[in-house]
Amino acid sequence: MQADTVMSERYDSIASLVATGEEAIARVGVVVHPSRDIDRPLGALREWTRRHGVDLVQVPVPSQHREVAEPGNTGECDLLVAIGGDGTGLAAIRAAAAADRPVLGVACGSLGVLTTVPPDGVTHALDRFSQRDWLPRPLPALEVARGDGAGLFALNDIAIVRAGVGQVRATARVDGILFARLAGDGCIVSTPIGSSAYALAAGGPLIAATTDAYLFTPLPTHGGFCPPLVVGADSELQLDTMTGHGGARLEVDGQIADTEVGPLTISFRRAVATVVSFADQEPSLAGLRRRRIIIDSPRILAEDQPVEPRA
CA 39 – CA 107 distance, rounded (Å): 12
153: β partners: 143
**Residue 131: CA atoms inside 13 Å, Cβ hemisphere, count?**
8
CA 72 – CA 30 distance, rounded (Å): 9
Check 4, 86, 185, 253 and give the catalytic one.
Answer: 86
86 is catalytic: yes
- Indicate if the alpha-carbon torsion angle 246, 189, 287, 301 is positive or negative: positive
CA 104 – CA 117 distance, rounded (Å): 8
Helix residue spans in the chain (DSSP H): 2-20, 39-51, 86-97, 122-130, 198-201, 284-290, 298-304
Please give the single-letter amino acid code of residue 205. Answer: P
* Active site residues per annotation: 86
